[in-house]
Structure 1
Amino acid sequence: MDQFERLSQLPLRDDLRGRHPYGAPQLDVPILLNVNENTFGVPLDAKEAILKAVADELDGLNRYPDREFTELRRALAAYLGHGLTEENIWAANGSNEVLQQLLQAFGGPGRSVMGFPPTYSMYPLLASGTGTDYVAGTRDGDFGLSAGSAAAQVRRQAPNVVLLCSPNNPTGTALGLDVVEAVYEAGEASKAIVIVDEAYAEFSHTGTPSALTLLEGRPRLVVSRTMSKAFALAGARVGYLASAPEVADAIRLVRLPYHLSAITQATAVAALRNSDSLLANVEAIKVQRDRIVTELEALGLTPAPSDSNFVFFGGLQSPQAVWEGLLAAGVLVRDVGIPGHLRVTAGTEAETTAFLDGLRTILAR
């Protein structure tokens, strides 16, 4: 009896039967460019600051942490700017938990959340986990999303929550603020919470606007961020949002008590105090991302314009064969299940070179 057969013997919820958990392959490969991690790691000065901050918490680990993580909320507000204060901030164990808490508060049985695939593959899983119906919108043939199309779909479906990923995963493209504004207005009739998932915002090209600029006067708008990518803290699990204060009040009704550990809070605050050092690597990653785009175009492939730390590219006759060839060369990229396409994280210069050299060899065969 295999694992799925054993699972089927349990009194599992009917809507979870036959589903598969989220998870990219975790393989023992020298170069991991498949899950959009910051491959530069944490700089020494930030490491030392985090170690000291964590050490300072050890004597108090017998006590519960600050349930309101006040210092962290203040630090995040200062980092974001835009006139935000701690009252506008909420945080959790990764932006996935932030999104889950939002769906627990504003979704649930009898309610719906709308996304626009191809987009972040966790959205429908978060919906099913919270008993929220997932409504899949549509994009243009080039995977773009216009303000008119998005607004018309929201008006037609009248969802309770809308998820807009910008820069979008897996395509890497950023949405114009006109899309966010149009969706927000279209959601007025259903009082839809509009969440702009900006997990990769720090990697955007100069001049790419953030939905943070739209928060004032829009109490149903939420901007979600993470410290996993730009801050190289994927292992620490810290995500957060900015919104009107009443959104955080709603989440307090569903969050688990003391959901952010003292160690997590100390790590995040120390990282924010060393943000200049941590974010210095962002510029180096953007250089490699743009290099990937340029060199893929030279190879006759079709990379999407990217405002993230990864590149989505098409023009492949057999993505699976390319994926396997790169894996054999010690480079793991992501097959996102879209015909003719793969996705690669922009790593260090050496990692990027290994990917490009391996790809050239495979395409030349």
Structure 2
Amino acid sequence: MTTSDAPCAVADRLPVRPDLAAVEPYGAPQLDVPVRLNTNETAEPPPPGFLPAVAERIVSLELNRYPDRPHRALREALAARLGLDAEQVWAANGSNEILLQLLQAYGGPERRVAYVRPGYSMYPELCRTALTPAVEVDLDDDFALTADVVTTIAATDPDLVLVPSPNNPVGTPVGRDAVRQLHARTRALVVVDEAYVEFGDADASVLPLLDELTRLVVVRTFSKAFRLAGLRLGYLAAADWVVQDVQKVRLPYHLDAVKQVTGLVALEQEEAFLGHRQRVADERDRVAAALRQLPGVQVWPSAANFLLLRTGVDDLFARLLERGVLVRDFSRRPRLVGCVRVTIGTADENDAFLTALRDVLA
């Protein structure tokens, strides 16, 4: 028997990619507890007329046919909402897929991404998935994107910059002047992740800068203010060449027909969907004021539907969980030692959280 005729050794399994060997799947805990305030979902369900309207549209879909690949109708509706051309808008399965497509199109092993810290926990995960080297740049002591932070980012010479505004998990928005500085002082695609922007002031968005800054990309989602976390629909607004480029990496028919129709109905009912925002803001401010009255508690200002707080309790996450309240634990993250993030829920849920926290602190 020659070497070429010898049987191949049979392995029990194929090893995963070496850089993934020690990786745990990303995701916040999904636990069955009375009060879940850990994933920044909106407590109120969609408006009463939404699902019946979706059902009426779905029955007319030809699901034996592939969906509209460039999802023209949805992009036109989004563009009309934003005051843009449809060629400047692109949608995908949640803002995470939008971010991944941007990294696939403009990243890679020979490129570099810079993102701020603290920042969205998925940024390093997405960079690793897209095989793109990344650099973390610390915000200032108040977790703000200052001119000095911009200088540090520019020194890394990134191809992409990822900036959450409002910041997740802090809740603070990024000013337009800071975004202008990032654009002027780098050659990078400046990606501003506005997942929570609808919870803040009307002028908090950097969307008006699109005409001014050619390499600006604004990313948004239906998961937060639109109350449709279960839909998994996100979109970007940018120059038309960005939309053309991300289509080079999208999967065929990546956005299914049901999702496209559901997004259209949500946009048609936008006023009803977004009517809860003031209630969320009022509850956020009420909870923040209550937290500031508690000894040893630090809470950051927030323009989102969550609050970041720090206490002197080492095991706060576990002790709140014992009392039936699930929050997001950041206590072992760099620069966030001792911190947890709490989503703003219903008034009853928020009261349950405050009661549990007071009990722990006592």
TM above 0.5: yes
Deviations 1:198-237 (A, max 9, x none): 0000001x35421101100322110000000011111110
User: 2:42 — aligned with what?
Assistant: 38
Cα distance between partner residues in 2 of 1:353 and 1:318: 20
The offset of 1:62, in angstroms, is 0.4
SS in 2 for 1:110: coil
- 1:195 pairs, out of 191, 198, 204, with 191
Cα distance between partner residues in 1 of 2:103 and 2:117: 18
Contact 2:140 2:149 in 1 (8 A): no
Do the aligned partners of residues 282 and 56 (structure 1) sit closer, same or farther apart at CA in structure 2, a change above 3 Å counting? Answer: farther
User: 2:169 — aligned with what?
Assistant: 170
Cα distance between partner residues in 1 of 2:154 and 2:141: 21
User: 1:27 — aligned with what?
Assistant: 31
User: 2:258 — aligned with what?
Assistant: 263
User: 1:295 — aligned with what?
Assistant: 290
Cα distance between partner residues in 2 of 1:229 and 1:22: 19
1:75 maps to 2:77: yes
- What is the identity, as a one-letter code, of the residue corresponding to 2:225? A
User: 1:328 — aligned with what?
Assistant: 322
User: 1:179 — aligned with what?
Assistant: 178
User: 2:7 — aligned with what?
Assistant: none
**Where do 1:309-324 residues align within 5 Å?**
309-314=305-310, 316-320=311-315, 322-324=316-318
Cα distance between partner residues in 2 of 1:238 and 1:324: 32
User: 1:130 — aligned with what?
Assistant: 130
- 2:56 pairs, out of 52, 56, 65, with 52
Cα distance between partner residues in 1 of 2:210 and 2:252: 28
1:157 maps to 2:143: no
SS in 1 for 2:337: coil
Worse-superposed segment, 208-217 or 339-348: 208-217
Worse-superposed segment, 13-22 or 126-135: 13-22
User: 1:5 — aligned with what?
Assistant: none
- What is the identity, as a one-letter code, of the residue corresponding to 1:348? T
The offset of 1:186, in angstroms, is 1.2
SS in 2 for 1:215: helix
- 2:17 pairs, out of 10, 13, 20, with 13
Contact 1:319 1:341 in 2 (8 A): no
> What is the TM-score normalised by the length of structure 2?
0.93
The offset of 1:10, in angstroms, is 3.2
The offset of 1:87, in angstroms, is 1.2
- What is the identity, as a one-letter code, of the residue corresponding to 2:154? R
Count of aligned pairs between the two proteins:
346
Do the aligned partners of residues 363 and 134 (structure 1) sit closer, same or farther apart at CA in structure 2, a change above 3 Å counting? Answer: same
Contact 1:289 1:309 in 2 (8 A): yes
Do the aligned partners of residues 359 and 67 (structure 1) sit closer, same or farther apart at CA in structure 2, a change above 3 Å counting? Answer: same
Contact 1:319 1:335 in 2 (8 A): no
Contact 2:89 2:236 in 1 (8 A): yes
1:62 maps to 2:64: yes
Do the aligned partners of residues 275 and 319 (structure 1) sit closer, same or farther apart at CA in structure 2, a change above 3 Å counting? Answer: farther
Cα distance between partner residues in 2 of 1:150 and 1:243: 24
Do the aligned partners of residues 360 and 178 (structure 1) sit closer, same or farther apart at CA in structure 2, a change above 3 Å counting? Answer: same
User: 1:103 — aligned with what?
Assistant: 103
Unaligned stretches of 5+ in structure 1?
1-7
- 2:233 pairs, out of 227, 231, 238, with 238
User: 2:301 — aligned with what?
Assistant: 305
Cα distance between partner residues in 1 of 2:54 and 2:327: 30
Aligned alpha-carbon RMSD (Å): 1.4
Contact 1:98 1:241 in 2 (8 A): yes
**Where do 1:136-155 residues align within 5 Å?**
136-146=136-146, 148-155=147-154
> What is the TM-score normalised by the length of structure 1?
0.92
SS in 1 for 2:288: helix
Worse-superposed segment, 258-267 or 217-226: 217-226
Unaligned stretches of 5+ in structure 2?
1-11
Contact 2:101 2:246 in 1 (8 A): yes
The offset of 1:319, in angstroms, is 4.3
SS in 1 for 2:309: strand
Structure richer in helix, relative to its length: 1
Cα distance between partner residues in 1 of 2:303 and 2:13: 45
- What is the identity, as a one-letter code, of the residue corresponding to 1:120? Y
Contact 1:212 1:223 in 2 (8 A): yes
Contact 2:180 2:213 in 1 (8 A): no
Worse-superposed segment, 47-56 or 111-120: 47-56
SS in 1 for 2:232: coil
1:284 maps to 2:279: yes
Cα distance between partner residues in 2 of 1:103 and 1:28: 35
Cα distance between partner residues in 2 of 1:280 and 1:139: 33
Cα distance between partner residues in 2 of 1:173 and 1:124: 20
The offset of 1:118, in angstroms, is 1.2
